[in-house]
Amino acid sequence: MFTSEIKAILAADAVPPALNTAIVPEFLANRFVAGSETFFQGVTKLLPGRILTWSAEEGVRARRYWSLPPEVYGADLSMVEAAGQVRAGLEAAVQSHLMSDVPLGLFLSGGIDSSALAGLMAPMVRGPIRTFAVGLPDTDSNELDWARLVARSVRSVHREVVVTPSEYFDALPRLIRHEDEPIAFTSSVPLYFVSRLAAEDVKVVLTGEGADELFLGYHRYRITHWNDHLGRAYGLAPSALRQAIGRSLGRLPRRWGRYAARTFLAFEPGPRQLFCENFAVFPTGLQQELLADPELLAVRDPYATALERYAAAPGGDLDRMSHADLETYLVELLMKQDQMSMAASIESRVPFLDHVFVERVAAMLSRIRCQMTCSTLWAKSTVGGAAAHATLGTVIDSYIADIKEVGADSQAVAGWNGPGPFKIANNYLEGPARMSCSAAPTRRSATSCPPTSR
pLDDT digits (tens, 9 = 90+) for 28-57: 999 999 989 999 999 999 999 999 999 999
Res 403 pLDDT > 50: no
Q: How many alpha carbons fall within 13 Å on the CB side of residue 103? A: 14
Which of 167, 191, 183 minimizes the C-alpha distance to 416? 167
Banded pLDDT at 415 (limits 50, 70, 90): low
Q: Are 94 and 205 in contact (CB under 8 A)?
A: no
Banded pLDDT at 195 (limits 50, 70, 90): very high
State the Cα–Cα distance between residues 414 and 351, nearest whole angstrom: 32
Q: CATH top-level class for 79-217+326-448?
A: alpha beta
Banded pLDDT at 421 (limits 50, 70, 90): low
**Confidence (pLDDT) at 140:** 66
Residue type present at position 392: L
Res 308 pLDDT > 70: yes
**Confidence (pLDDT) at 454:** 34
Q: Which of 153-157, 186-190, 251-255, 431-435 comes out lowest in average pLDDT?
A: 431-435
Share the mean pLDDT of the chain.
83
Which of 424, 420, 425, 436 minimizes the C-alpha distance to 174? 436
State the Cα–Cα distance between residues 323 and 176, nearest whole angstrom: 29
Helix 317-327 vs helix 329-343: crossing angle, to nearest 10: 40
The full set of domain ranges for the chain reads: 6-64, 79-217+326-448
Return the higher-pLDDT residue of 396 and 204.
Answer: 204
Task: Bin 59: left if φ > 0, else alpha if -120 < ψ < 50, else beta.
Answer: left
Res 437 pLDDT > 70: no
pLDDT in tens, 323-340: 999 999 999 999 999 999
**Confidence (pLDDT) at 369:** 83
Mean pLDDT for 54-79 is 88
State the Cα–Cα distance between residues 335 and 121, nearest whole angstrom: 24
Q: Are 185 and 336 in contact (CB under 8 A)?
A: yes
Res 452 pLDDT > 50: no
Say how far residue 437 (Cα) sits from the centre of its chain. Answer: 26
Q: Are 9 and 15 in contact (CB under 8 A)?
A: yes
State the Cα–Cα distance between residues 434 and 17, nearest whole angstrom: 20
Banded pLDDT at 450 (limits 50, 70, 90): very low
In terms of residues, how long is the chain?
454
Res 121 pLDDT > 80: yes
pLDDT in tens, 235-275: 888 888 888 888 888 888 888 888 888 899 989 889 999 99
State the Cα–Cα distance between residues 450 and 152, nearest whole angstrom: 5
State the Cα–Cα distance between residues 281 and 270, nearest whole angstrom: 19
**Confidence (pLDDT) at 261:** 87
